[in-house]
Structure 1
Amino acid sequence: MNEFSRGYAGSQTMDMSVDAGLRSFMLGVYNKLGLGLIVSGLLAVATSQVPAVRDLLFTVQVTQQGASIGLTGLGMIVQFAPLVLLFGSMFLMKNPTARGAGLLYWAVVSSIGASLGLVLLIYTGESVATTFFVTAAAFGGLSLFGYTTKKDLSAIGSFLIMGVIGLLIAMVVNMFLQSPALMYAISAAGVLIFSGLIAWDTQRLKATYYALGGDQRGMAVATNFGALSLYINFINLFQFLLMFLGNRE
């Protein structure tokens, strides 16, 4: 990235062209991310509010102690589909195309959106909306920081990825322990980790744009993968913040 900058340091016109290209590239990523969030929201409403669809994915049992919400067999498949898609793509998409990356993005968005109906069944609509706007504001600030900072954030990338792996292990353990205290600790760590990932991924996308050197095919693929990374960060930050800001039905 430094070598790239030095190569263009003598040409103001070229700098302006590169900056315009970078802005166009990032705008494409953010537009796809925004559309993905809209689709997810619509699917979440459909799977939580349309009885015929809701009953295919979720089970709702009302007792004297309150409502108990679970997953049907199909609901379990939808819940774990994003992980299967993401891990599968690591082995199957060795030389990804823009079409393949786009299909992966929308498949992940659709499965996560459908599973988010569970969130709307557990938490009040008002608290979900409030948490979403808090997440959006935090995402905007963190992404802007990643885009504008001169500090190299690559050093924290591997640390954050290891943090995600640690979170997954802790969540699996807590499935058996059912400890509220551990869940709050996991949520607090999740907020910090995915906040860092938003800034890191944004800066990484800038570096990717420079590395592609105007390759339109590569940028089309990177737009989809960039939107996917930021979408996953956004959704995870939203869900972890719900542990602190969400009010249960």
Structure 2
Amino acid sequence: MNDFNRTFGALDARSADTSVNVGLRAFMLGVYQKLALGIALAGGLAFLVGSNTFPALTELVLFSPLRLVIQFAPLVLILGSAFLMKRPSPLATGIMYWTIVTVLGLSLSIWVYMATAGTGGALRSGATLSPTFLTIAKAFFLTASAFGALSLFGYTTKKNLQPIGVFMVFALWGLIGVSLLSFLFPPSGMMEILIQVGVLGVSGVLVATDTQNLKNSYFQYEGDTRSLAVMTNFGALNFFILFYNIFTILMSLLSRD
């Protein structure tokens, strides 16, 4: 995985003509298609569990100790793969992608459950949330619109975004660390909002930088089918996690009472 992280785009964005490259278009479309399928699967699982169509399944996912596994499994999988996948394969990265998509989809079911039941929830700061299906629709529309615009910018800009991308990765991990500390030390309402806005901004910038990194790396590995397949999986995974981050933060902000 170390060879296919966000910093693999060593080729400058201005060093290749991407306007008529059919292979690049096919590669990027493959990434976006896998992302779209992942979003569809996650959304389907969220509605299946959250709608309480199968009460036993809803109880298992949302109200049993399994919810803690679902909450932390993606982070464990990502960190574990960084140490265990020294030479990642298309199969292994594909399995990791769909596993993380499934787990995150299950975690999203809490929003659907609250919207279905008409109940609210509380954040660690004490703020209450009352999501509705309209809130879910608004958050999804805003997320998809922002993601599309930022990815288009990252694809078309001639400016090298790699330096700011590296900085944003460190910033994101810092914010994740602060968020984990909030489990031990509940933050104030304002601090919680600042953390969420920070993650929202960093995730948005990473959409653009990751898009440019994928584009640049295509030329670095052009013709290497195995490497391109691995990059497709990692690219879709990075995009999915960013989409998830943006969506859940918008849900939290839009659902506040």
With the shorter chain as reference, the TM-score category is: 0.7 to 0.9
Alignment partner, residue 129 of structure 1: 137
Taking every aligned residue pair, what percent have the same amino acid on both sides?
Answer: 42
DSSP-derived class of the 2:182 partner: helix
RMSD: 1.9
Q: Distance in 2 between matches of 1:2 and 1:104?
A: 29
Aligned to 1:67: none
CA distance in 2, matches of 1:172, 1:179: 15
TM-aligned CA deviation for residue 127 of structure 1: 0.2
Equivalent of 1:57 in 56, 61, 64: 61
Amino acid at match of 2:255: G
**Equivalent residue, structure 2, for 1:240:** 249
Hey, what's the Cα distance between the residues in 2 that align with 1:186 and 1:15? 38
Cα separation, partners in 2 of 1:126 and 1:86, compared to 1, 3 Å: same
1:38 aligns with 2:40: yes
Matched, 1:74 2:83: no
User: Are the aligned partners of 1:187 and 1:240 in contact in 2 as well (CA < 8 Å)?
Assistant: yes
Letter paired with 1:129: A
Match of 2:103 in 1: 111
Residue-by-residue CA offset, 1:34-81 (whole Å, 9 max, x unaligned)? 00000000111122123111111223xxxxxxxxxxxx2111111111
Q: Within the alignment, does 1:152 sit opposite 2:144 as a pair? A: no
Residue 13 of structure 2 contacts residue 212 of structure 2 at CA under 8 Å; is this kept in 1?
no
Q: Secondary structure at the match of 1:177?
A: coil
User: 1:195: which partner in 2?
Assistant: 204
The letter for the 1-side match of 2:51 is Q
Query: What TM-score results when the alignment is normalised by the length of structure 2?
Result: 0.84
Counterpart residue number, 2:78: 86
Higher RCO, 1 vs 2 (CA within 8 Å, ≥6 residues apart): 2
Q: d(CA) in 2 for partners of 1:229 and 1:3?
A: 19
Q: Is the 8 A contact 1:128 1:246 kept in 2?
A: no
Post-superposition CA distance 1:150-169 (Å, at most 9, x none): 00000102210111112112
Q: Does the CA contact (< 8 Å) of 1:4 and 1:210 recur in 2?
A: no
Check the 8 A contact 1:128/1:242 in 2, yes or no: yes
Tell me what 1:26 maps to: 28
Residue pairs, 1:163-242, within 5 angstroms: 163-175=171-183, 176-242=185-251
Mark the CA change 1:216 to 1:247 in structure 2 (over 3 Å): closer, same or farther: same
Question: Measured at CA, do residues 3 and 242 of structure 1 come closer, stay the same or move farther in structure 2, by a change above 3 Å?
Answer: closer
Counterpart amino acid of residue 108 in structure 1 = I
Which structure 2 residue ranges, 5 or more long, are not aligned?
1-10, 115-130
Return closer, same or farther for 1:3/1:144 CA change in 2, 3 Å cut-off. closer
User: Which amino acid in structure 2 is aligned with residue 185 of structure 1?
Assistant: L
- Alpha-carbon distance between aligned partners in 2 of 1:158 and 1:220, rounded to the nearest angstrom: 23
- Counterpart code for 2:161: L
Amino acid across the alignment from 1:236: N
The AA in structure 2 aligned to 1:138 is A
Structure 1: unaligned runs, 5 residues or longer: 60-71
Contact 1:105 1:228 in 2 (8 A): yes
Q: Cα distance, 1:173 vs. partner?
A: 2.6
Tell me by how many angstroms 1:172 deviates: 2.0
Q: Which has the larger radius of gyration?
A: 1
Instruction: Normalising by structure 1, report the TM-score.
Output: 0.86
More helix by share: 1
How far apart are the structure 2 equivalents of 1:29 and 1:186?
29
